[in-house]
Structure 1
Amino acid sequence: MRTGLFFETSQRIVKSFLSNVVAIDDKLFFGNAISNQEEAASAGNKDPFAFGEEESASSEEDSGLGIANISLASSTIRDRLEKEVHNLDYQDLSLAFAEYGINCSGFIPDVHRFKTIEDAAENITLSAKRVDATILDWRMDENFGAEIGSLAKASILKILQHDKNQHGRLRLIVIYTAEPNIAEITGNIAKTLQSVDFSVLTNGNNINFDNADLEFCQITVIEKKATAKELREEVVSLFTELTIGLLPNATLSTLSELRDKTHHILHTFSRDLDPAYLSHVIGLLSSPKVRENAEEVALDYAAELIAEELKSMIQISHPLKLSLEKNRIIDWLSHVNMENDDDFFEIVVGDESGKVGSSRMKELIAATENEQIDTILQSEPKIISKGQDSLSFFERNRIQVNLKNGTTDSHEKLSIIECKRRDGLSLTNLAYAPNIKLGSIIKDKKGKYYICLQPLCDSVRLSSDASFLFLAVKEVKEPTGKFTHVIQSKTGENIRLMARCSTQCIRKFDLKRNKTTRTVKASNQAGSNEYIIQCKKESGGIEELFWVGELKNNVAQAISNHVAASISRIGLDTNEWLRLSSSISIA
Structure 2
Amino acid sequence: MNETQIVEASKNWNEHNLDAAKSFISNVVFIDDRPVIPKSKREIIVSPAIKDTIEDEVFGVDAEIAEAVPSGEGHVPATQAESLEQVDAKAVAENAPGEVDDPLQRNDQLGTNDNELNEHDLPVRPLTSALAAEGVTSSFFFPDASDEEEAIVLQAERLALQADVVVLDWHLRNSKPDLTIEVIKRILRKDAEQKGRLRLICIYTGELIQTGIAGIIMSEVREVLELDALTENVLAANHVRIAIFNKSEVPPEVLPLSLLMEFAELTKGLMSSFALNAISVLRNKTKQLLKVFSSDLDSAIVSHRLHLTDSDDVEAFGLDVLLFQIKSLLSTSMVHRKCLSSEKFKLWVDAEVSESRKWDVEGLAVDKNLAKELVDNSFERAVSDAAGKLDAVGLSTWKSRVQELPFAGQEEMARSSRELARLSKLIREKSGFAELPEDWKPTLGLGSVVKYVPENGGAAYFFCAQPLCDSVRLTENTVFPLLKLSQKPVPKKGADGLPEFIEDASAYWIVVKDGEVDLTLQLKPVPKQGKYIKFKVSKTEKRVLGEKTEDGEYEFSTTGDKGCFYWLADVEPLQAQRALNSMAAMASRVGVDEYEVLRRGMPGI
**TM-score, reference length from structure 2:** 0.76
| CA distance, structure 2, for counterparts of residue 254 and residue 347 of structure 1 | 40
Corresponding position: 1:448 with 2:456: no
| Aligned partner (choices 320, 324, 327) of residue 304 of structure 1 | 320
2:317 maps to amino acid: Y
1:361 and 2:361 correspond: no
Which SS does the other structure have where 1:387 is aligned? helix
Q: 1:203 to 1:227 in 2, by over 3 A?
A: closer
**Letter aligned with residue 568 of structure 2:** V
211, 230, 235: which one aligns with 1:203: 230
Paired with 1:420 and 1:352, the residues of 2 have a C-alpha distance of: 40
How is 1:218-229 mapped onto 2 (pairs within 5 angstroms)?
A: 218-224=241-247, 225-229=249-253
CA contact (8 A) 1:450 1:470 kept: yes
Report how far residue 502 of structure 1 moved.
Answer: 1.1
Once the two structures are TM-superposed, the CA of residue 407 in structure 1 deviates from its matched residue by 1.4
- Which runs of 5 or more residues in structure 1 are unaligned? 34-79, 210-214, 379-383
Out of 203, 221, 227, the position equivalent to 1:175 is: 203
Aligned to 1:17: 24
CA separation of 1:158 and 1:353: change in aligned 2, threshold 3 A: farther
Q: Output the aligned Cα RMSD.
A: 3.2
Q: CA deviation at 1:419?
A: 1.2
How far apart are the structure 1 equivalents of 2:251 and 2:270?
32
Whether the aligned pair in 1 keeps the contact of 2:428 and 2:569 (CA below 8 Å) is yes
Provide the C-alpha distance between the structure 1 equivalents of 2:120 and 2:527, rounded to a whole number of angstroms. Answer: 74
* Partner residue of 2:483 out of 471, 485, 498: 471
Mapped partners of 1:10, 1:451: distance in 2: 40
Runs of 5+ in structure 2 lacking a partner? 1-6, 41-113, 492-498
Identity level (%): 24
Aligned partner of 1:486 in structure 2 is 510
- Structure 2 counterpart of 1:91, one-letter code: R
Distance 2:188 2:341 in 1: 36
Task: Please give the alpha-carbon distance, in whole angstroms, between the structure 1 residues aligned to 2:469 and 2:406.
Answer: 44
* Residue in 1 that maps onto 2:165: 133
- Any idea what SS the aligned residue of 1:85 has? coil
Which stretch shows the higher mean deviation, 476-485 or 448-457? 476-485
Structure with larger RCO (C-alpha < 8 A, sep 6+): 2
Q: Is the 1:363–1:376 contact (alpha carbons within 8 Å) kept by the matching residues of 2?
A: no
Q: Cα 1:570–1:490, aligned 2, differ >3 Å: closer, same or farther? A: closer
* 219 and 395 in structure 1: CA distance in 2 versus 1, 3 angstrom threshold: closer
Residue of 449, 471, 474 corresponding to 1:462: 474
Distance 1:161 1:314 in 2: 33
Tell me which residue corresponds to 2:12.
5
**TM-aligned CA distance change 1:385 to 1:582, over 3 Å:** closer
Report the more deviating stretch, 309-318 or 20-29: 309-318
Contact 2:427/2:572, CA 8 A, preserved across alignment: yes
Partner of 2:141: 107
Moved more, 552-561 or 527-536: 527-536
CA contact (8 A) 1:128 1:159 kept: yes
CA contact (8 A) 1:347 1:401 kept: no
SS in 2 for 1:444: strand
Matched, 1:387 2:392: yes
Counterpart residue type for residue 259 of structure 2: V
Q: Residues 316-361 of structure 1, C-alpha deviation per residue, up to 9 Å, x if partnerless? A: 2234322222222222222224xxx42236799xx9996523x443
Hey, what does 1:68 align to over in structure 2?
Answer: none
Letter in 2 for 1:521: L
Displacement of 1:553 after TM fit?
Answer: 0.5
Aligned to 2:190: 162
Q: Distance in 1 between matches of 2:430 and 2:579?
A: 22
Determine the C-alpha separation between the residues in 1 that align with 2:528 and 2:603: 33
Separation of aligned partners in 2, 1:494 and 1:13: 31
For residue 129 of structure 1, report the CA deviation from its aligned partner: 1.6
Aligned residue for 2:177? 149
> Is the aligned partner of 1:497 residue 2:521?
yes
Q: Deviations over 1:484-539 (max 9, x none)?
A: 423332645422101011122221011111111111110112x421001112226x
Distance in 1 of aligned mates of 2:217 and 2:156: 17
- Residue type at the aligned position of 1:216: H
Aligned twin of 1:551: 571
CA contact (8 A) 1:166 1:429 kept: no
Name the aligned partner's letter for residue 165 of structure 1: E
Distance in 2 (CA, whole Å) between partners of 1:258 and 1:186 is 36
Report the CA distance shift for 1:200/1:584 in structure 2 as closer, same or farther (over 3 A). farther
Change in Cα spacing, 1:511 to 1:260, as seen in structure 2 (3 Å) is: same
Note if contact 1:419-1:486 (Cα within 8 Å) is conserved in structure 2: yes
AA aligned to 1:218 is: R
Supply the AA of the counterpart residue of 1:237.
Answer: M
Displacement of 1:154 in angstroms is 0.4
Aligned-partner Cα distance in 2 for 1:523–1:352: 58
Is 2:357 the partner of 1:344?
yes
> Shift in Å at residue 187 of structure 1?
1.4
Tell me the alpha carbon deviations over residues 10-52 of structure 1, each in whole angstroms, 9 at most, x when there is no partner: 212211111110111111222339xxxxxxxxxxxxxxxxxxx
The worse-fitting range, judged by mean Cα deviation, of 405-414 and 241-250 is 405-414
Question: Number of matched residues?
Answer: 503
Counterpart CA distance in 2 for 1:413 and 1:217 is 19
Q: Secondary structure at the match of 2:155?
A: helix
Q: CA deviation at 1:208?
A: 2.5
SS in 1 for 2:118: helix
* CA separation of 1:137 and 1:346: change in aligned 2, threshold 3 A: farther
Q: Distance in 1 between matches of 2:350 and 2:563?
A: 56
- CA deviation after TM superposition for structure 1 residue 267, in Å: 2.7
Partner of 1:222: helix, strand, or coil?
A: strand
Matched, 1:434 2:442: yes
Of stretches 82-91 and 561-570 in structure 1, the one that deviates more from structure 2 is 82-91
Report the CA distance shift for 1:484/1:308 in structure 2 as closer, same or farther (over 3 A).
same
Higher mean alpha-carbon deviation, 549-558 vs 474-483, is at 474-483
Between the aligned partners of 1:388 and 1:429, the Cα distance in structure 2 is 48
Deviations, residues 357-384 of structure 1 (Å, cap 9, x unaligned): 3x44333333479777655798xxxxx6
Letter in 2 for 1:134: V
* Cα distance in 2, alignment partners of residues 495 and 175 from structure 1: 41
Letter in 2 for 1:115: E
Residue number among 406, 425, 428 corresponding to 1:419 in the alignment: 425
| 1:179-328 equivalent positions in 2, closer than 5 A | 179-182=207-210, 184-194=212-222, 196-204=223-231, 205-209=233-237, 215-224=238-247, 225-284=249-308, 287=309, 290=310, 294=311, 296-328=312-344
